[in-house]
C-alpha cells in the first residue's frame, strides 16, 4: 500500500483517433490524418491511430491502412493500431504500424459478448499476434480490469494472473482498462498492489472518476496513461459507458503537479476544438470547455 | 507533506438548496422545503437551506425565512443559512438557523467585485456577525482560496493568515472555497499544509477537478466537505464557474473507500432526479447520470 513519490515524467498515449472516434459517425481518412497531425504538433508521442477491424462492423474505422500509410510520420512518435486478430495484425504490420494493441477481457462474459470467444481463446489469439509481430511491440489492453457489467467486481489477482500470462506469451506491455467506469481510487490501489506499477491505465469517465483514478495511479507509481483528446469515446458494447479521460484534463493536472509529458495543454485545447468540429458535437473534456488554468477566467464584472 | 490515513468518517454539508439553486430560475419555497426533506431522508446531517440576501439581487433566494421556519426539523440535522451582513444574520437568527455561513474573499479584487468592500471591511462584518450570533456557530467560507480570476494564484499563507484572523474574531469554522475551479491536488496539499486539516473544502467542478481535489484533501486529513446534490451551482460572479462537487459523486467515492458519511447514495440519486425536475434541466452530477457502482450497468447485448 505504499505511495511512491510522483514520477518525473509520464507517457500519454492518445487513443482519440481510434477509441475516441470509433463510436462516432465516420470521419474521413483525411480528417483523421489531420487530427493525428494536430496531436503530434501538440507534443503527443504515442498515438493510437486506427483499428484494423471490419468496416462493416465499425464503419468509423474504415480505411485503417490508408490512415497509417497516409499520416505524416515524425521522428520519436509511435503510431499504434488496434487489431482484433491475426489478419488485422498482418494488415497493420503491412501498413507499417509501430505498436499493436490487442484487447482481451478478464471478464469471461464481457469477452464472450465482445468477441464471441472465451478469455482463454482470446489469449491464444494474442499469443499468435505476438508471434507474428516480431519486433513490433504488442500492448495487451485488459478490459473490465476494475469490474464487469456482467460479473461485478473482478479480483485484482485475476487481472494480475492474466497479465502475467500475456507477458509470458510475448506481449510487451499491459494496459488495464476501466471499460465501464467502475474503477475507484481504492480499486486502482488494489490493482496496482497486485500487478505492480508497470502497467498502463486506460480510464473512462462514466462516473466522473477518470481523473481521480489517474491521480491514484500516479500516486502508486503508474507512468503510462491512455487518454483521448476532448474526452471522446466510450465502448458501444458497454451500457452507459462514457468517454475516455480527456488528454488535456490529465495534462493540465500533470502540469500543475510538475510531472512532465512533453505535451502543450494550450495546443491540446485547440485539438479538442478541432475534434469537436469533426464529430459535430461538443466534447466532454472539461479543460477544453473551461480553458486551462494558465488561461485565467476573464473578470466579468 | 505527510499523508494521513483516510478519516473514518467525514461530514458533508449539502449546499444544494442554497448554492445549488441560487443561479437557477426561482424554485418555490414549498419545493425547496421538499428538497431539504429529501436530503435529510437520504441521511444528510448538515444542509445550507437558504441565503438571507436581497430578493431583488438574488430572486432564487427569496423567502429565506419561510424556508427556515417552514422546514420539518429532524433531530441531529443542522440547518445553515448564508448571510451577507448583520441584517441578514439577524433575520436568519430570528428564523431559528443552527449555523450561519458568511463568505469573504481572500482575493481583494474578487471581494470588491462581489460585495463592494475590501477584505478588511468584510472581516469587520464577519466579526460583527459572530458577536451577534452568540452560541450559533459561524462558518466563514473563504472564497478564491485556491486562486482568483483577477489575481491568479493566491498564496496559501495568505489564506491561512485570513483564516486565523477569522477564527480569532469568533468564527467557529473555516471553509476554503474553490470559487472558480482553480484548485488542483497540489494546491489542496499546499493549502492544507498552511492551514492544517481542520478546514472544510467547498469545491467547484469547472475544470473537472472537484473529485480529485476532494480526494487530495481526504488524503491530507480533511474531514468536512461542501457539496450540492446533482452538482448544481456556480457563482454568478465568476466567469465560467461550473457547479459544485455533486454530493452523490463524493458519497460514492467515500462509500468505496470505506469512509462513513451516514448518507445513502441510492437515495441521493433520487434526490438528484428530483432537483433536475425542479430546475427543469439535467444535472451535471455523474453518478446521478450513470447510476452508482452498486447499480450495475445492464448488459445490453
Contact list in A for residue B216 (CB cut-off 8 A) is 215
**Rounded to the nearest 5 degrees, what angle is found at the Cα of B10, between the Cα atoms of B6 and B12?**
145
CA–CA separation, B141 vs B252, rounded Å? 25
CA–CA separation, A83 vs A182, rounded Å? 25
Q: Which residue has the cell 483516510?
A: B6
CATH superfamily of A11-290: Aldolase class I (3.20.20.70)
Residue B226 β-bridge partners: B13, B202
C-alpha cell read off for B221: 486529513
The pLDDT of residue A178 is above 70:
yes
Pairing mode, strands A200-202 and A224-227: parallel
Contact list in B for residue A212 (CB cut-off 8 A) is 211-212, 215, 253
pLDDT digits (tens, 9 = 90+) for A199-222: 999 999 989 999 999 999 999 999
B299 with A253: Cβ contact below 8 A: no
B298 with A239: Cβ contact below 8 A: yes
Indicate the SS3 state at residue A221: coil
DSSP for residue B4: P
Nearest to B285 by CA among A73, A3, A245, A205: A205
The minimal CB distance from B297 to the residues A149, A286, A301 is found for A149
CA–CA separation, A187 vs A152, rounded Å? 13
CA–CA separation, B8 vs A39, rounded Å? 44
pLDDT digits (tens, 9 = 90+) for B218-259: 999 999 999 999 999 865 444 444 799 999 999 999 999 999
Contact list in B for residue A3 (CB cut-off 8 A) is 3
DSSP string, B129-144: HHHHHTTS-EEEEEET
**CB neighbourhood size of A277 (10 A):** 11
B181 with A290: Cβ contact below 8 A: yes
Tens-level pLDDT at each residue, chain B (301 residues): 456 789 999 999 999 999 999 999 999 999 999 999 999 999 999 999 999 999 999 999 999 999 999 999 999 999 999 999 999 999 999 999 999 999 999 999 999 998 999 999 999 999 999 999 999 999 999 999 999 989 889 999 999 999 999 999 999 999 999 988 899 999 999 999 999 999 999 999 989 999 999 999 999 999 999 999 999 986 544 444 479 999 999 999 999 999 999 999 999 999 999 999 999 998 888 899 888 876 554 443 3
**Rounded to the nearest 5 degrees, what angle is found at the Cα of B73, between the Cα atoms of B68 and B74?**
150
B212 with A253: Cβ contact below 8 A: yes
Region A117-126: what's the mean pLDDT?
97
C-alpha cell read off for A189: 490501489
B185 with A211: Cβ contact below 8 A: no
CA–CA separation, B277 vs B287, rounded Å? 17
CA–CA separation, B50 vs B94, rounded Å? 14
Indicate the SS3 state at residue B260: strand
Question: Rounded to whole angstroms, what are the CA distances from B202 to A9, A67, B13, B136, B289?
Answer: 31, 46, 9, 21, 22
**Contact of B289 with B282, CB cutoff 8 Å:** yes
Rounded mean pLDDT of chain A?
Answer: 93
- H or E element that contains B82: strand B78-82
Contact list in B for residue A187 (CB cut-off 8 A) is 256
Amino acid at each position: 500500500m505504499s505511495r511512491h513519490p510522483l514520477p518525473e515524467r509520464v507517457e500519454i498515449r492518445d487513443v482519440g483517433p481510434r477509441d475516441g472516434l470509433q463510436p462516432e459517425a465516420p470521419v474521413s481518412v483525411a480528417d483523421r490524418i489531420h487530427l493525428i497531425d494536430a496531436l503530434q504538433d501538440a507534443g503527443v508521442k504515442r498515438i493510437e491511430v486506427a483499428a484494423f477491424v471490419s468496416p462493416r462492423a465499425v464503419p468509423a474505422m474504415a480505411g485503417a491502412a490508408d490512415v497509417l500509410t497516409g499520416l505524416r510520420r515524425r521522428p520519436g512518435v509511435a503510431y499504434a493500431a488496434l487489431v482484433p486478430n491475426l489478419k488485422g495484425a498482418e494488415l497493420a504490420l503491412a501498413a507499417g504500424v509501430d505498436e499493436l494493441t490487442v484487447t482481451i477481457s478478464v471478464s469471461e462474459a464481457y469477452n464472450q459478448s465482445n468477441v464471441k470467444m472465451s478469455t482463454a481463446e482470446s489469449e491464444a489469439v494474442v499469443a499468435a499476434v505476438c508471434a507474428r509481430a516480431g519486433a513490433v511491440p504488442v500492448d495487451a489492453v485488459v478490459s473490465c480490469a476494475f469490474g464487469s457489467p456482467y460479473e461485478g467486481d473482478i479480483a485484482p489477482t485475476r487481472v494480475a494472473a492474466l497479465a502475467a500470462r500475456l507477458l509470458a506469451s510475448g506481449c510487451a506491455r499491459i494496459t488495464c482498462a476501466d471499460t465501464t467506469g467502475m474503477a475507484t481510487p481504492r480499486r486502482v490501489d488494489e490493482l496496482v498492489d497486485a500487478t505492480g506499477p508497470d502497467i498502463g491505465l486506460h480510464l473512462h469517465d462514466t462516473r466522473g472518476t477518470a481523473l481521480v483514478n489517474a491521480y491514484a495511479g500516479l500516486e502508486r507509481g503508474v507512468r503510462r496513461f491512455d487518454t483521448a483528446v476532448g474526452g471522446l469515446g466510450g465502448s458501444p458494447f458497454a451500457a452507459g459507458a462514457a468517454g475516455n479521460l480527456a488528454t488535456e484534463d490529465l495534462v493540465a493536472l500533470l502540469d500543475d503537479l510538475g510531472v512532465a509529458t512533453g505535451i502543450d495543454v494550450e495546443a491540446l485545447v485547440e485539438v479538442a476544438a478541432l475534434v469537436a468540429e469533426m464529430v459535430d458535437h461538443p466534447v466532454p473534456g472539461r479543460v477544453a470547455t473551461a480553458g486551462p488554468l494558465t488561461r485565467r477566467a476573464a473578470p466579468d464584472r
